[in-house]
Chains A and B, each alone.
Chain A
Amino acid sequence: MDHQTLSTVLQVSGAISRQQAFPFLTAIILVPVFAASLILAIPRDARRLIRGVALVASVAVLGISAAVIDLFRTGDGGYQMVSNHMWAPGLGISWSIGVDGISLFLVALTSLLFPLVLFGAYARQNTKSFSVWILLLEAGCLGSFLSLDLLMFFLFFEATLVPIYFLMVSWGHEGRNRAAMKFLVYTFVGSAFLLVGAIALAFMHQSQTGLLTFDIRSLVHTHVSGTEGVLLMLAFTFAFAVKAPIWPFHTWSPDTYAEAPASASIILGGVMAKLGTYGIVRFDLELFPHATILLAPLFLTLGVIGIIYGGIVAAQQRDLKRLVAFSSLSHMGFIVLGAFALTGESVSGAVVEMLNHGLYTAALFLLIAMIYSRRRTFEIARLRGLQGAAPVMAGIFTLVMLASIGVPGLNGFVGEFLILAGTFAAHRWWAVVAVLGVVISAVYMLWAYQQIFHASQPMTDPKEPLRDLTTRERLVLVPLVVLIVALGVYPKPVLDRIEPAVNQLIMHVHQVEATNALNANALSPLEGR
């Protein structure tokens, strides 16, 4: 393992890519920040201008990320479009960003959902601060997915908390203050461990090589002993488990999802939950292969519990948003299952499922917001018989719901199938139990659908006839619906870009494990080989 040569190669390749092209990834992060500061300079009464600037900026980001997908070299499993700049050399922190198959579609998802939020779920009061927070949140999310420096990742990861907190407390529903505080404290406690773990890892690397850096491309070469690895991995995973959430660290999520405004729910469920699972795939697997293999049964079990528990509790919810929160818990369980099953299919499935879950959860939350704007309630029992009055809405809801259940031909199926297939190959019994989750999700989703759209007496207020989706609402939903169908029918372009990176990661995990086993000269009965 000659990592000095490797890091030179990395630097050279970074330099080349810098010369070659416009720094797309840096632009992706900075455009929203600049737009936010621009908006700060606009008087608050110029609402149209503010919304225009915000929308243009977020669409520009979408454009750049489309260009990034276009420039992305499909067969390449490594980081692409890397740029490196020292930020605080004394502390070993650098502005290192790059994209690979694992982060590519999460970036795309993020840059797709934010314009939709700005277009379809904007706040009518205080447009100015709303736009600023949304744009800063977008920069934070994108920065987290693109950072190759552990500490930059942490900075962005934390930086997302401030905007989401303000979004919640300023535009949320009744119990927002408590929910926002709960969310924040939970996440912060998780991050405390992540920060300590990250610093400890960097110092281990420094004591081995003399180089203080948080760059994960260097940190992967750190030799971490068994116990250290397990402790560090647990410290990292705790933060990610809270963020995702993984059972039993989920107790903040139903409150938070329910009390957040539509915009924040979409981002929380669609994008920010992925920060946790992305962290697991990116950092746990890559940095602590040995500990990951060792602890895999634990996290597989937590994942399966999450799947089943989330499903069962979702079935008992009376509140539509809480139902989606628990169904998210269940889906996050699938992603965790896939990530820790450590086979090529299962991890690819987990990555695809992150994208797909983002798409249909965003669509669900948008639809729920649209229902709420008509009926002023999230209570399933009081939302009856929407079908007759709003057939288009009912149709789209059906489609999104089926995607969420994982019906073949829609996008939800692809990820879940890959996860279950991959897990079955390596950890049969976990997969067998997890399949039950699919059945349960069908139960609660169909029940909710029945209640909302079909139940007999429509409880419409005769004075205010119920409208079907407006043109604007349809426009917001179209991109999501198109992608849900397209990725269900033809997921190949996505998978082609994800798989090389995932295969490289899995190979790395098993390689490190094999070297460890050779070095230790004492094989322990390992699972997942």
Chain B
Amino acid sequence: MLASAFVLPVIDYTAILPELILLGGMLVLLGLVAVIPKDFATTTYAGLTMSIGTASLVSSLVLWHDVTKGGPFQAVAQIVNVDGFSVFLMVLVSSILIVAPMLAAGYLENEDIQGAEYYILALISGAGAMLMGASNDLILIFLALEVLSIPLYVIAGLNFRRATSGEAAMKYFLLGSFSSAIFVYGIALTYGATGTTNIGSISGFLARNVISSPGTLYAGVALMVVGFAFKIAAVPFHMWSPDVYEGAPEGAVGFMAAIAKVGGFAALFRVFIGALPTLASVWSPVVWILAVLSLVVGAVIALSQRNLKRMLAYSSINHAGFILLGLVALSSRGVASSLYYLFSYSFVVLGSFAVIAVIARDNGGGSEIDSVRNLGRCSPLLGTVFAIFLLAQAGAPFTTGFLAKFYVVSAAIDAHSYAIAVLAMLSAAVAVVFYLRVVLVMFSGSESPEAIGSAVGQPVVTSRWVWSGLSICVMATLVFGVWPSPLIDFARAASLIFH
């Protein structure tokens, strides 16, 4: 046993090619920055990041081809899964990495934040998110979690000219590392109870053995739940998210929100459905409670928010509750629906925060609801785009938002969780109020003429980069809302590994 540990495992590089492309690309950027005497324009870095993202998207699709042809397999000493689930997340993360730089470029240019830092950090973080979806070992999940999180702490503090940005970074870092510690303690206890950190081996061990005193194992599971709940900002582990969303640089919040949710949920599904299906009766009530609290608290507290960023933070908590429904359902339909929801959420949240970044810029950094007053008049296109994102989040028909909600709710009903399904839809009804209130302020406008001047008096000018990013987000939201079959089929294929 001991001797074999020192033999270098055979590494199948193609299995982790998308991650390698991201990290390699990151190194190239890093090297470039070190070599060139003067920084390039931020848009140049954005372009490079986008091409790295595209390369990783292509390699993910190639991997998808391999998986559909040859079936799922495990690589790199059985710690990396290559299956539909991991490939779906690779595709999603790559797509996020193509869109996010466009949306950030305009913001960074405007805030005069030079350098390639944001892009480098985003690439590292993306690689971490991919690994979280692919890993077949708790240790690797922990490493991937850190690779995902640490760059996000830095991104939160990227706007060094603003004190709130530093505050957000500090808060995120302290609470984040605290939760990581809890998570790693959970892994240790699970290892103590089962004698392995390999996900497949844990589920095999638990299926074969009856644990007479399961206290250690339960404690381990509970601590892992806490760790994940923090990452996905599920109530009651959500306290950091409104502050971080509010303080972090607007141009980057969308990316932070999307990538943290994608990575967190990916690993959550891997661990709980992959390793602990036999303990479902133990952890599913806990997840049920997390989902219910997130649905209710997210929707209700968002109602009272006057700041758009805080409102969207609470609405994200509500979304997390919806995505958890897929786990509550404990079925491949549930997994597929959560994947669809994650896809839908990622583009909507990227787009929403990009619009907020533009508004906050024109409004001296403020993002109170009043700052969008008359946006629909002054800049009809931007107003319409924002309205589409908000309506999609509210679950309007013919957007991905509706199908995502429909899909997760149907998964919950399929599992006979009627109560939570009704509750989820009722929380969506509450959520409609605060989304539409913003739309109302944008379009119904002329109540107080003096407010027009203060808010968006001058026409909102937005860079081409932001516009192209926004149009991709809108397309993703509408196209897959009207013609959902390809994405649904992909999500279903990705969910087949479970059961």
Q: What are the interface flags for A162-191 relative to B under an 8 Å C-beta threshold, 1 for contact and 0 otherwise?
A: 100110011000000100010011001101
Q: Does B479 contact A (CB under 8 A)?
A: no
Assess the B485–A89 pair: CB atoms within 8 A. yes
> A90-B485, A91-B484, A203-B414 given as contacts; is B421 within 8 A of A196 (CB)?
yes
A166-B443, A185-B429 known; A88+B488 contact, CB < 8 A:
yes
In the complex, what residue of chain B is closest to A154 when comparing beta carbons? Answer: B397
Is A390 close to B, CB under 8 A?
no
Q: Please, how many angstroms separate the alpha-carbon atoms of A192 and B429 in the complex?
A: 7
Stretch at the interface among B144-152, B178-186, B206-214, B400-408: B400-408
A192 touching B428, Cβ below 8 Å: yes
Closest Cβ of chain A to B494, distance in Å, is 12
Query: How many angstroms between the C-alpha atoms of A119 and B488 in the bound complex?
Result: 43
Whether A181 touches B436, Cβ cut-off 8 Å, given contacts A159-B398, A169-B443, is yes
Let me know if B440 is at the binding interface, CB within 8 A.
yes
Minimum distance in angstroms from B429 CB to a CB of chain A: 4
Q: Write out the residue numbers on chain B whose beta carbons fall within 8 Å of the beta carbon of A87.
A: 485
A-side binding surface: helix, strand, loop or mixed? Answer: helix
Q: Which residues on the A side are within 8 Å of B432 (C-beta)?
A: 184-185, 188
Interface set, chain B 405-446, CB cutoff 8 A to A? 406-407, 409-410, 413-414, 418, 421-422, 425-426, 428-430, 432-433, 436-437, 440, 443-444
In the bound complex, how far is the Cα of B397 from the Cα of A156, in angstroms?
A: 8
Interchain CB contact under 8 A, A91 and B488 = yes
Residues in chain A near residue B430, CB distance under 8 A: 185
Q: Please, which residues of chain B bring their CB within 8 A of the CB of A88?
A: 403, 484-485, 488
Central interface residue in A88, A151, A170, by most chain B CB within 10 Å: A88
Q: Is A439 an interface residue (CB 8 A)?
A: no
Question: Quick one: which of A159, A181, A188, A195 contacts B406, CB cutoff 8 A?
Answer: A195
* A158-B402 CB under 8 A given contacts A165-B436, A170-B443, A203-B413: yes
Is A155 interfacial (CB-CB < 8 Å)? yes
Chain B contacts of A155 at CB under 8 A? 397-398, 402
Does any Cβ of B come within 8 Å of A407's Cβ? no
Check A159 against B484 for contact (C-beta < 8 Å).
no
A189-B398 in contact (CB<8A): no
A interface residue count range (under 10 / 10 to 19 / 20 to 34 / 35 or more): 20 to 34
Interface residues in B275-317 by Cβ distance below 8 A to A read none
- Across the interface, do A192 and B398 meet the contact criterion of CB distance under 8 Å? no
Chain B residues with Cβ below 8 Å from A188 are 428-429, 432
Instruction: Report B-chain residues with C-beta under 8 Å of the C-beta of A170.
Output: 443-444
What per-residue 1/0 map shows which CB atoms of A201-214 lie under 8 Å from chain B? Answer: 01100000000000
Known: A91-B488, A192-B426. A177 touches B444 (CB 8 A): yes
**Contact, CB under 8 Å: A196 / B413:** yes
> Is there an interface contact between B440 and A196, defined as CB atoms closer than 8 Å?
no
Residues of A contacting B418 with CB < 8 Å? 196, 200
CA of A188 to CA of B485, assembled, Å: 26
Q: Which residues in chain B, 379-411, are within 8 Å of chain A measured between CB atoms? A: 391, 396-398, 402-403, 406-407, 409-410
Whether a CB of chain B sits under 8 angstroms from the CB of A199 is yes
Which positions 439-492 of chain B face chain A at CB distance < 8 Å? 440, 443-444, 484-485, 488-489, 492
For chain B, which range describes its interface: under 10, 10 to 19, 20 to 34, or 35 or more residues? 20 to 34
Q: Which of B396, B413, B426 contacts A189 (CB 8 A)?
A: B426
* Closest chain A CB from B29 CB (angstroms): 39
Residues of B within 8 A of A169 (CB): 440, 443-444
Q: Flag whether A193 is at the interface (Cβ < 8 A).
A: yes
> What chain B residues lie within 8 Å of A195 (beta carbons)?
406, 409, 425
* CB-CB nearest in chain B for A171: B444
Residues of B within 8 A of A203 (CB): 410, 413-414
Question: Residues of B contacting A156 with CB < 8 Å?
Answer: 397
* In the bound complex, CA of A165 to CA of B429 (Å): 14
- Whether A90 lies near B492 (C-beta < 8 A) is yes
> Once bound together, how far apart are the Cα atoms of A91 and B413, in whole Å?
13
B433 touches A185 (CB 8 A): yes
B315-374 at interface with A (beta carbon < 8 Å): none
Contacts of A158 in B (CB 8 A): 396-397, 402
| Contact across chains for B396 and A159 when beta carbons are under 8 A apart | yes
When distances are taken between beta carbons in the complex, the residues of chain B under 8 Å from A193 are 422, 425
Complex: chain A residue closest to B410, CB-CB? A199
Instruction: Say whether B425 contacts A192, CB under 8 Å.
Output: yes
| Cβ-closest chain A residue relative to B407 | A91
Chain A residues with CB under 8 A of B391: 162
A91 close to B403 (CB less than 8 A): yes
Q: Which of A129-181 contact B (CB under 8 A)?
A: 151, 155-156, 158-159, 162, 165-166, 169-170, 177, 181
Chain A nearest CB, measured from B385 CB (Å): 13
Please determine whether A184 and B436 come into contact, CB atoms closer than 8 angstroms: yes
B56 to chain A, nearest CB (A): 27
Bound CA–CA A200/B417 (angstroms): 10
Q: How far is the CB of A516 from chain B (nearest CB, A)?
A: 23
Docked-complex contact B403 and A196, CB < 8 angstroms: no
Contacts of B433 in A (CB 8 A): 181, 184-185
Please measure, in the bound complex, the distance between the C-alpha atom of A124 and the C-alpha atom of B452, giving whole angstroms.
Answer: 22
Please give the distance in Å from B382's CB to the nearest CB on chain A.
Answer: 15
- List residues of chain B with CB within 8 A of the CB of A165: 436
Cα distance A73–B407 in the bound complex, in angstroms = 38
> How many Å from the CB of B172 to the closest CB on chain A?
34
Residues of chain A lying within 8 A (CB to CB) of residue B413: 196, 199-200, 203
- A88 to B492 CA separation, bound complex (whole angstroms): 12
Ranked 10 nearest A-B pairs via Cβ = A192-B425, A188-B429, A90-B488, A155-B397, A159-B397, A199-B410, A199-B413, A189-B429, A169-B444, A158-B397
13 contacts between A and B (CB under 8 A): A88-B403, A90-B489, A91-B488, A156-B397, A159-B396, A162-B391, A170-B444, A181-B433, A192-B425, A192-B426, A192-B429, A195-B406, A199-B413
Given contacts A158-B397, A192-B425, 10 further A-B contacts (CB under 8 A): A88-B484, A88-B485, A91-B407, A91-B484, A151-B406, A158-B396, A184-B432, A185-B432, A185-B433, A192-B426
